[in-house]
A and B are shown apart, each in its own frame.
Chain A
Amino acid sequence: MIEAENVHYSYPSKVEALKGISITIKDGEFVAIMGQNGAGKSTFVKHFNGLLKPSVGTVKIDGVETTKSSVAALARNVGFVFQNPDHQLFSETVEEEISFALKNFGFEPKVIEDRVTWALNLLSLTQYRKTSPFLLSGGERKRVALASVLAWDPNTLILDEPTIGQDHEQKEKLRQFIMQLQTQKKTVVAVTHDVEFVAECNPRVVLMKEGKVVADGVGREILTDPAMLEMSSIVLPQVAQVFIKLSALGLPKDIIDLYEAKALLLKTKERLGR
């Protein structure tokens, strides 16, 4: 569980990035944080693993304030994948990168071996096991960063722009994996600009603007509210765009799912005798 209360944060350069944020994220929830560039999304989630401490207000992870818990305890519970993988990768091979945290947390060698193999496979990296992460493509590097965190199965996962550089197949694998985590009561927070990915996952959506939360609700509702999205510099998912343009047909406007869209349109066709 993550509890943020009246969180303010200013960078040493005096930029006031967070201006009083209060939200609670329960165990097993999947939350997408969206909003325009510079809204404070990355700054906010860096408070969840204690990387940043609030200037005013509190952040509690599983009931303990981040200012009071040890760095080691936070690191064990909260897995964090950075927006830019280059801020995270440092090992000489992909395998070493992924096993680093597992070794640190004292897992048995056999378990480490299994977890590394599992993570390589999940993120389509098996062929790069012995390769340097710095010789990989942009999307592959992001996946190494993801793998190195998913491998040790943290209770809470913070993913800053997890779909950057990923093709559709990789995104689909990630989506299915996140759904699986939810059934295990793990908490996933993803900062993302990827509207289509959010539409496919339909999680809880928190919209940020200028250091504040401006909306918090079901993905389907927020992603089909044109005024709200425009204010946050977000565009509608493509399916919702189609339905808004079809409003003359008397169809509902809050449609983001392809299969639901198909069923509704076929029904309309029948109704109109076409």
Chain B
Amino acid sequence: MALIEIKNLTYTYPGASKPSIHDVTLKIEKGEFVLITGPSGCGKTTLCRCFNGLVPHFYQGEVKGEVTVAGINTLEHHTYEMAKHVGLVFQNPENQLFALSIEKDVAFGLENVGTKREEMRKKVDWALNQTGIYDIRERSPHEISGGQQQRVAIASVLAMEPDIIVLDEPTSFLDPLSAEKIFEVIYRLNKEQGITVILVEHRLDLTAKYTNHLILMDQGTVRCEGDPRDILNSEETRLIGVGIPKATLLYQMLKKEGFNLGDQTPLSSEELADQILEALGQK
């Protein structure tokens, strides 16, 4: 059995006129780095809420189908039982912050599961350092900038070292270099420790290169999933209005004009520059 299995899931929020998730079936294996994208309002956040049981236990509403995460049926088991398996970084960081200091916020989850003081100190410091907020750890999470708040939310989840990390547009408030650094940290955790990562993002120019499992959602359904090189090259993707990386777009435009750049669709500037140099005999 895969680490996450969703079968024919349909979910409607209380009082909503139509389902936000419509007949979704998917499998995510242990150790995968999955990227979910799709137009605003297509159901990405709602799907994230299914991974840790917030849907349906917190949001209520009407649910059909099956969701199994780490062997646990999330529709029957409570969110707190999922907490040690799944860490969710919310789309809006402020909804996740409540303690009097940044440090206490990051330590909260560990305290809850009874982590020993010394070990807690180590894990908290590590998470604060990874997200670049160690120096401001004693400040209040309500008196810092938007990007600093988002780092606190990420650090709180990293400190818990869950088996599955779900990140819902986790760097939307971060400056570009810091966003890149956070993605690198997450990528390393995935590669070195086998932590399963599920990342929701609109900005594929920053993230497409990390994944080999891209899920494209549209109007509550999974429109297609698989190798990002195939998906980003397909006409359907362009029509849905997904932000295709500029390097990928430039490759397509040049190819159309008879510039033979080979068959591999590039996902980053490095890949495209190499293909151009190669085609021009400059390598």
Chain A positions within 8 Å of B, measured between CB atoms, are 11, 13, 15, 35-38, 42, 83-84, 86, 135-140, 143, 161, 164-171, 193-196, 230, 232-235, 237-239, 241-242, 245-246, 248-249, 258, 261-262, 265-266, 268-269, 272, 274
A220, chain B: closest CB distance, angstroms = 15
B85 at the interface (CB under 8 A from A): no
B148, B257, B276 interface centre (most CB from chain A within 10 Å): B276
Closest to B93 in A: A84
Is the CB–CB distance between B202 and A193 below 8 Å?
A: no
Assess the A138–B169 pair: CB atoms within 8 A: yes
Point out the residues of chain A lying under 8 angstroms from B205, CB to CB: 196, 238
**Could you write out 12 A-B pairs with CB less than 8 Å apart?**
A15-B143, A36-B178, A37-B173, A137-B41, A139-B41, A140-B41, A233-B177, A238-B246, A239-B246, A241-B270, A245-B269, A262-B257
B15-40 contacts to A (CB < 8 Å): 15-16, 38-40
Q: Which residues of B contact A258 (CB under 8 A)?
A: 246, 249-250, 253
User: B16 — which chain A residues lie within 8 A by C-beta?
Assistant: 135
Q: Map CB proximity to A onto B144-166 as digits: 1 under 8 Å, 0 otherwise.
A: 11111001000000000000000
A193 engages B173 (CB within 8 Å): yes
| Total B residues in contact with A, Cβ cutoff 8 Å | 58
Cβ of B91 under 8 Å from chain A: yes
- Known contacts A234-B176, A266-B259; A38 and B279 CB within 8 A of each other: no
Verify A193–B41 contact, CB threshold 8 A: no
> Shortest Cβ distance from B187 into chain A, in angstroms?
16
Known: A138-B45, A164-B172, A245-B269. 9 other contacts (CB 8 A): A42-B145, A138-B92, A140-B41, A164-B173, A166-B202, A168-B242, A242-B276, A249-B282, A265-B259
Closest to A43 in B: B145
Cα distance A224–B222 when bound, in Å?
Answer: 37
Cβ contact within 8 Å between B242 and A248? no
B270 touches A245 (CB 8 A): yes
Contact A196-B246, Cβ < 8 Å, known A37-B145, A168-B202: yes
Q: Are the C-beta atoms of B178 and A37 separated by less than 8 Å?
A: yes
> In the complex, which of the residues A15, A37, A135, A248 contacts B175, with contact meaning CB atoms closer than 8 Å?
A37
Docked pose: A167 CA to B242 CA in angstroms: 6
Q: Mark B250-265, 1 if CB is under 8 A from A, else 0.
A: 1001100101000000
Residue of A whose beta carbon sits closest to that of B46:
A137
Tell me if A235 and B172 are in contact (CB < 8 A): no
Q: Which 9 pairs, one residue from A and one from B, show the smallest C-beta to C-beta distance?
A: A37-B147, A139-B40, A169-B241, A168-B243, A241-B269, A245-B273, A238-B246, A233-B177, A235-B176
- Complex CA gap A78/B254 in Å reads 44
Q: Complex Cα distance A138/B45, Å? A: 8
A234 and B177 in contact (CB under 8 A), knowing A140-B41, A165-B172, A248-B277?
A: yes
B147 CB to nearest chain A CB (Å): 3
Interface contact A193-B175, CB-CB below 8 Å: yes
